[in-house]
Structure 1
């Protein structure tokens, strides 16, 4: 899949999170830094119901354009949920976990993608 399409998928995931009032939504281009994914989408949700709603919205929005979720981790606790879409990995954090793990710092060399158009 070409990188422009993958970036659009990451942007669509970010938009879905924003639609469910996720905060501090960030898209990182990590393709030059790791073989595990090309983009990370990172966001915060303040409660278990919001984490679940953001997770559902991202999954549903991407599946509606033919992008299947390969795996979900963390729904039991709903404090840090990871959605694996292959080239795009979405992290939905509760604020305390996001502050503790601060994965943006771990991937500090990644390019930050400016959010905007999300057509897929």
Structure 2
């Protein structure tokens, strides 16, 4: 499975749990990038963030039998990260997303808004 195909599966998992403001940052042409894609979204509550993360994990596991290489943020549920190596998933509460501004930090990336 290509990194582009994986990103589509991740987006499907996000959409199933009503993730907001989904953006895909294409980092393949960015010097020093650590991944092919960042897929970023927002949720409104701890419960929704966890539901989005679980939905993404379920979709990826069903499609390719893989689990994230690394998971973080399930304790405080303000920024959940799922690392699939070629794709890194960032699920934020809105205020944390605004604070960390990954879209600005990786300003050289091509950004695609979903939905």
Alignment pair present for 1:8 and 2:5: yes
Q: Which residue of 2 aligns with 1:95?
A: 94
Q: What's the CA shift for 1:115?
A: 4.4
Matched, 1:85 2:84: yes
Residues 14 and 26 in structure 1, CA contact (< 8 A), matched pair in contact too: no
CA distance in 2, matches of 1:17, 1:24: 10
Q: Give 1:108 deviation, angstroms.
A: 1.3
* Cα drift, residue 111 of structure 1: 1.0
Deviation string 1:26-85 (CA, Å, 9 cap, x unpaired) is: 011112223421000000010000000000000110111123211101110000011000
| In structure 2, distance between residues paired with 1:24 and 1:114 | 7
- 8 Å CA contact 2:39, 2:87 repeated in 1: yes
| Structure 2 match to 1:28 | 25
Match of 1:75 in 2: 74
Q: RMSD between aligned alpha carbons?
A: 1.6
Match of 2:15 among 13, 18, 22: 18
Q: For the Cα contact (< 8 Å) 2:24–2:38, is it kept in 1?
A: yes
User: In 1, Cα distance between the equivalents of 2:67 and 2:85?
Assistant: 9
Does the 8 Å CA contact 1:30/1:39 hold for their aligned counterparts? Answer: yes
Please name the residue that 1:38 is paired with. Answer: 36
- Runs of 5+ consecutive residues of structure 1 not aligned to the other structure: none
Q: TM-score of the superposition, structure 2-length normalised?
A: 0.91
Q: Which runs of 5+ in 2 are unaligned?
A: none
Cross-structure match for 1:54: 52
